[in-house]
């Protein structure tokens, strides 16, 4: 089974993935489905990212804790002069996938505060420094700055209806340790700030729950401090 919301405001998204097609290749049973997703999705996302991205890419992948990260290391291409320097083109995360495992260590917010600079000064009051994979389910910042992105504050803090759904999905992963889940940014330009963020959860029932969250500048009013 597959559950997904439609893209916000019906916007077409280049690089979108047909998860129902992925599931049709899966064996019956949630255990088999989990293994298939962990094995197949990185390749599906790589192809979707290349389709989404007109520039030359340098896709790398590594494991950190219980999550695997796919990353377009564009900076290395600039360093080796494979592509010209361009301040408007940024290295960026392609996707993160793994099993939830709440971290036993304290949040490494000291690293988050030092990332780029003061949040409101750099980006404005409507933005936060968010995590693709939350600390509560196994994400980190220290040594893994690729896990950080500029996120709408109402989404990150659960103020909007979409933000409440985002928090609900993360909480499912917290309460059900070992849940297969993923986060995937979708881009409409060459920067590392995603226009949309997909978050997916494989429920115990075998249902794949995927939502596509709007991370553009269009947002609902925020509550007062």
In a domain, 126, yes or no: yes
In a domain, 222, yes or no: no
User: How many structural domains compose the chain?
Assistant: 1
Integer distance in angstroms from the first to the last C-alpha of the chain? 41
What are 66-76's pLDDT values in tens digits? 999 999 999 99
Spatial contact of 112 and 141, defined as CB atoms under 8 Å apart:
yes
| Residue 41 CA neighbour count, 13 Å, CB half | 30
List the single range of 10-19, 89-98, 199-208 with lowest mean pLDDT.
10-19
Is 208 or 218 the better-scoring residue by pLDDT?
Answer: 208
| Residue 68 CA neighbour count, 13 Å, CB half | 16
Spatial contact of 179 and 125, defined as CB atoms under 8 Å apart:
no
pTM summary value: 0.85
In a domain, 223, yes or no: no
What are 152-168's pLDDT values in tens digits? 999 999 999 999 999 99
pLDDT value at residue 154: 94
Place of tokens 């049709």: 24
Mean of pLDDT over the chain: 84
pLDDT value at residue 11: 52
What are 95-121's pLDDT values in tens digits? 999 999 987 765 555 555 555 555 555
Query: Rounded mean pLDDT of 163-180?
Result: 96
136: domain CATH number? 3.40.570
pLDDT value at residue 222: 42
How distant, in Å, are the alpha carbons of 90, 147, 192, 198, 208 from that of 217?
19, 21, 15, 17, 28
pLDDT at 29 over 80: no
In a domain, 132, yes or no: yes
pLDDT value at residue 223: 40
pLDDT value at residue 168: 96
In a domain, 221, yes or no: no
Domain of 81 in residue numbering reads as: 2-214
pLDDT value at residue 1: 47
Spatial contact of 4 and 212, defined as CB atoms under 8 Å apart:
yes
Is 210 or 32 the better-scoring residue by pLDDT?
Answer: 210
pLDDT at 9 over 50: no
Cα 184 from Cα 147, distance rounded (Å): 11
């Amino acid at each position: 089974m597959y559950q997904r919301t439609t893209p916000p405001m019906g916007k077409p998204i280049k690089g979108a993935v047909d998860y129902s097609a992925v599931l049709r290749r899966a064996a019956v049973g949630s255990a088999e489905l989990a293994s298939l997703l962990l094995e197949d999705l990185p390749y599906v996302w790589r192809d979707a990212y290349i389709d989404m991205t007109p520039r030359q890419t340098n896709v790398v992948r590594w494991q950190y804790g219980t999550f695997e990260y796919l990353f377009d290391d564009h900076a290395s291409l600039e360093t080796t002069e494979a592509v010209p320097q361009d301040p408007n083109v940024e290295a960026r995360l392609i996707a993160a996938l793994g099993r939830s495992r709440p971290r036993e260590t304290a949040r490494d917010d000291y690293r988050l505060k030092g990332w780029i600079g003061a949040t409101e000064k750099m980006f404005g009051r409507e933005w936060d420094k968010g995590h693709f994979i939350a600390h509560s389910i196994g994400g980190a910042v220290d040594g893994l700055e690729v896990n950080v992105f500029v996120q709408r504050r109402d989404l990150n803090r659960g103020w909007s209806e979409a933000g409440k759904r985002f928090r609900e999905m993360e909480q499912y992963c917290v309460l059900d340790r070992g849940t297969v889940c993923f986060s995937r940014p979708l881009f409409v330009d060459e920067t590392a700030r995603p226009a949309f963020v997909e978050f997916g959860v494989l429920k115990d029932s075998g249902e794949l729950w995927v939502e596509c969250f709007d991370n553009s500048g269009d947002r609902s009013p925020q509550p007062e401090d």
